[in-house]
A and B are shown apart, each in its own frame.
Chain A
Amino acid sequence: MRKLLILSGKGGTGKTTVASAFIALSAARAWADCDVDAPNLHLVSGAFTKSIAKDYHDLPKARIDADFCTACGRCHDVCRFDAITVGSVYQADPIACEGCTFCLHVCPEGAITMEESKAGEIFLHTREDQVFSTATLKMGSGTTGKLVTAVKDQIKGVDAPLAILDGSPGIGCPVIASLTGSTLALMVSEPSVSGLSDLRRVVASALQLDVPVAVVVNKADINSKQCAAIKRYCTDEHIPFLGTIPYDPTVVTHLNEGRNLAHANSPAAVAIKAIWERTAALLEVL
Chain B
Amino acid sequence: MIIAVPAENQSLDSPICQSFGRAPFFCIYDTGSESSRFLDNTAKEASGGAGIEAAQLLVDQNIDALITYRLGENAARVFRAANTKLLKAVNLSIADNVANFLEEKLASLEDIHSGYHHG
Interface residues of A (CB under 8 A from B): 57-59, 98, 119, 142-146, 149, 153, 156-157, 173, 176-177, 180-181, 209-210
Contact = CB atoms under 8 A, between A and B. Distances in A.
A59 B47 contact: yes
Interface in B77-119: 113-119
Contacts of A180: 113-116
A143 B116 CA distance: 13
A12 B100 CA distance: 52
B19 interface: yes
Given A57-B45, A58-B47, A153 B118 contact: no
Given A146-B47, A146-B118, A181-B114, 12 more contacts: A59-B48, A119-B47, A145-B117, A146-B119, A149-B116, A153-B22, A156-B19, A157-B18, A176-B116, A176-B118, A180-B115, A209-B116
Interface residues of B, number: 13
Given A145-B118, A177-B116, A209-B114, A57 B47 contact: yes
A279 B117 CA distance: 28
A57 B113 CA distance: 24
B84 to A, nearest CB: 22
6 contacts: A143-B48, A145-B48, A146-B117, A146-B118, A177-B118, A209-B116
A131 B116 CA distance: 24
A119 B48 CA distance: 13
Contacts of B48: 59, 143, 145-146, 149
A173 B113 contact: no
Interface string B47-64: 110000000000000000
Contacts of B45: 57
A180 B45 CA distance: 20
B119 A142 contact: yes
Contact of B119 (A57, A173, A181, A210): A173
A35 B76 CA distance: 28
A232 B48 CA distance: 40
Contacts of B22: 153
Contact of A181 (B113, B117, B118): B113
A181 B119 CA distance: 17
A148 to B, nearest CB: 10
B114 A173 contact: no
A40 B36 CA distance: 48
Given A98-B119, A156-B19, A157-B18, A143 B47 contact: yes
A272 B21 CA distance: 38
A176 B115 CA distance: 11
A64 to B, nearest CB: 22
B19 A145 contact: no
A109 to B, nearest CB: 27
A254 B119 CA distance: 35
Contacts of A177: 116-118
Interface string B24-50: 000000000000000000000101100
Contact of B118 (A156, A157, A173): A173
Contacts of B114: 180-181, 209-210
Nearest to B116: A180
